Amino acid sequence: MDAAAQPTAYLEGEASEEHDPSGTGTVGQSLEMPGDGYAWRKYGQKFILKIRKNRSYFKCREEGCKAKKRVEWPPSDPSNVKVTYDGVHHHPSPQLLSASYREERAGMANRYNLVIQVLGPPGDSS
DNA sequence: CGCATTTGACCCGCGC
DNA sequence: GCGCGGGTCAAATGCG
């Protein structure tokens, strides 16, 4: 069947902090957001007591795209962001990113399989 | 001016 | 049946 609503889980270890040598004062919420190539719109943020972590909710800007992204990170390690993707993009590939990013995405699929074993498979076929 | 971002409140679902 | 948690939407503000 066409499992279009297959939740995807991808662990993204973002540790790139914006350096502020001149001290522009852009510290506060300098959470990394290089983007996976798609355009996301933050539509909410909540603190999940269950895991004692912050969770940000991002939705794909493409209309008709049911793809959603949820980012969670420990309050003590804002660099340790975990990104979970839900849904699939029904619109063209992210042509916004460079070809190098595409290569990185290739490895992501490799990690994707690993993440499923750790987080738990979406469609438990057991 | 437009858009993106932020915060709050509200709603729904599930658990006990 | 009620409570709590999580999730989403809406509105307002700030910045580019």
Question: What is the residue extent of each domain of chain A?
Answer: 3-91, 96-126
Q: How far apart are CA A92 and CA A37, in angstroms?
A: 11
DSSP state of A96: T
Q: Which of A37, A86, A15, A88 is nearest to A57 (CA)?
A: A86
CB proximity A96–strand B (7 Å threshold) = no
Write down the pLDDT at residue A19: 53
Chain C footprint bases within 7 A of protein beta carbons:
5-10
Q: Any idea which nucleotide's C1' is nearest the CA of A50?
A: C5
Helix-strand-coil split of chain A, %, nearest 5 = 15, 25, 60
CB proximity A82–strand C (7 Å threshold) = no
Q: Which of A71, A69, A105 is nearest to A88 (CA)?
A: A69
Q: Look up the CATH superfamily of A3-91.
A: WRKY domain (2.20.25.80)
Write down the pLDDT at residue A46: 93
Map residue A108 onto helix, strand or coil.
Answer: helix
Write down the pLDDT at residue A11: 62
Write down the pLDDT at residue A37: 74
- Half-sphere exposure in the Cβ direction for A28 (13 Å, CA): 3
Distance A24 CA to B9 C1' (A): 34
Is the distance from CB of A60 to CB of A89 less than 8 angstroms?
yes
Distance A3 CA to C16 C1' (A): 41
What tens-digit pLDDT sequence spans chain A (126 residues)? Answer: 655 555 555 665 554 555 544 444 444 444 444 567 788 899 999 999 888 889 999 988 876 777 888 888 887 776 777 888 887 777 665 554 554 555 555 555 555 554 544 555 555 444
Kindly report the pTM of this predicted structure: 0.69
Tokens 């004062």 belong to residue: A25
